[in-house]
Amino acid sequence: MICSTLLSGALMAQEALFSGSQVTSPVVNADGTVTFNVFAPKAVKVEVTGDFLPPVEVDSPLGKTTQPGRAEMKEMNGVWTYTTGKLAPELYSYNVIINGMNILDPSNVYVNRDIASLTSIFIVSAAKGDKGDTYRVNEVPHGDLAKVWYNSPTLKMKRRMTIYTPAGYDKGKNYPVMYLLHGAGGDEDAWTTLGRAAQIMDNLIAASKAKPMIIVMPNGNTDCQAAPGAWSRGMYMPTFMGSVNQKPIATMDESFMDIVKYVESHYKVAKGKKNRAICGLSMGGGHSFATSKRYPDTFNYIGLFSAGLHINGDRNKSFYELLQENKEVQNQLAKLFAGKPALYWIAIGKTDFLYQQNADLRRYLDEKGYPYEYRETEGGHIWRNWRIYLSEFAQKIFK
């Protein structure tokens, strides 16, 4: 029986090998182009779609948005092939489309999940220190990642977060902490998979571009304990808001000090405002905005990455109008800036659908004379921007 099973497995492997299904894809060429190969001898049409192609505009629940473009592949002897032009250093996402069906590249084992979508990925790098090099694993000292369960008395549940400790953590003294928050649809896995946070920090610290620090990546969905499939709710379908149709008993900012207290009682942490930073993308940028103003003496560095800003009030009014009307928020921001945080950093893409919200916040800060730094990039509400923002923000803090 054992021999039969082994023989069957060997025959399947041989069949895959000689059928041509073991093509290599993608191939990052020396000139910076990338070649995709798909073995699909019975296909009528095969395309590749990815963020390295010119985007197309589509209608979505958020209004006009963009999706990756498509390129047709050419067939020879059952293998469909497409080669890009020269690509800039970056981490890229893509899929292949066979006879209209969007699937992962069968020859690429490297995959990311973004909410409920899976994409194949690859990295292009041309020189040491470029974006592709910063996002990949290099021969440098590596920090550790831990999936940690903590108790949240405010939310009345056990919750999971991801914690990065830098290389040499056990031998070092107490470390400053960056609290790094994900966006809507994300979870405590998002920044380490889609955001490449561990690789970014390993490479920046090794190059002495960033201080060794602890990175805390909590789950920002206060109706959930952990990422989909990682808690007792089971294997539910992830959604844009991460909701499992339970009404949370508190907000992320209301419950945030549960996280801080756990980290500072279980890790080698340098305590005090000067040793804490909070930042996040989209919903996590909104959480950073709300948490920093709720606890104005807690964080010395605040980073809003394409922040989804929220204040209770008439949704037909602009964020600037809501700021002008809300005395509580005005007082909170006044206290925050009276404490002279070392950095209040706002970053967003030129075509981000949240651009006007962030412009409204900057208008208000300008009128009040509250100091901040502003970073504007090309593109919209995309991970390509958020990886840049993390890379730059990490180099500005704890100096």
Residue 60 is predicted with a pLDDT of 64
Mean pLDDT on 340-354: 97
**CA–CA separation, 370 and 309 (whole Å):** 17
Residue 21 is predicted with a pLDDT of 57
Residue 55 is predicted with a pLDDT of 85
Distance of CA 64 to the CA centre of its chain: 22
Q: What is the CA radius of gyration of the chain?
A: 23
Query: Comparing C-alpha atoms, which of 378, 375, 373 is closest to residue 350?
Result: 378
Check pLDDT > 60 for residue 314.
yes
Inter-residue contact 85 to 95 (CB < 8 Å): no
Crossing angle of the two packed helices 252-266 and 283-294, in degrees rounded to 10? 80
Check pLDDT > 50 for residue 1.
no
Q: What is the pLDDT of residues 136-183, one digit of tens each?
A: 999 999 999 999 999 999 999 999 999 999 999 999 899 999 999 999
Q: What is the pLDDT of residues 107-125, one digit of tens each?
A: 999 999 988 899 999 999 9
Q: Which ranges in 267-379 belong to alpha helices (H)?
A: 283-294, 319-325, 327-338, 355-368
Inter-residue contact 224 to 187 (CB < 8 Å): yes
Q: What is the pLDDT of residues 251-292, one digit of tens each?
A: 999 999 999 999 999 999 999 999 999 999 999 999 999 999
- Residue 58's pLDDT band, with cuts at 50, 70 and 90, is confident
Crossing angle of the two packed helices 327-338 and 355-368, in degrees rounded to 10? 70
Mean pLDDT on 178-194: 96
Check pLDDT > 90 for residue 234.
no
**CA–CA separation, 114 and 303 (whole Å):** 22
Residue 56 is predicted with a pLDDT of 82
The beta strands (E) that lie in the chain are given as 27-28, 34-39, 46-50, 56-60, 63-67, 69-72, 74-76, 79-83, 90-98, 101-103, 111-114, 117-124, 144-152, 157-165, 177-181, 214-218, 276-281, 301-305, 343-349, 373-377
Mean pLDDT on 79-85: 97
- Residue 7's pLDDT band, with cuts at 50, 70 and 90, is very low
Residue 11 is predicted with a pLDDT of 39
- Residue 20's pLDDT band, with cuts at 50, 70 and 90, is very low
Residue 305 is predicted with a pLDDT of 98
Long-range CB contact pairs, 63-71, < 8 A, 24+: 63/353, 65/353, 65/380, 65/381, 66/351, 66/380, 68/93, 68/94, 70/97, 71/47
Check pLDDT > 80 for residue 87.
yes
Average pLDDT, the chain: 92
Residue 260 is predicted with a pLDDT of 98
The pLDDT > 90 percentage for the chain reads 82
Residue 3 is predicted with a pLDDT of 45
Residue 232 is predicted with a pLDDT of 86
Check pLDDT > 90 for residue 4.
no
Check pLDDT > 80 for residue 62.
no
Strand partners for 343 = 301
Give Cβ neighbours of residue 176 (< 8 Å, ≥ 6 apart). 211, 213, 214, 269, 270, 274, 275, 276, 277, 397, 398
Residue 100 is predicted with a pLDDT of 94
Mean pLDDT on 8-13: 40
Residue 263 is predicted with a pLDDT of 98
Check pLDDT > 50 for residue 341.
yes
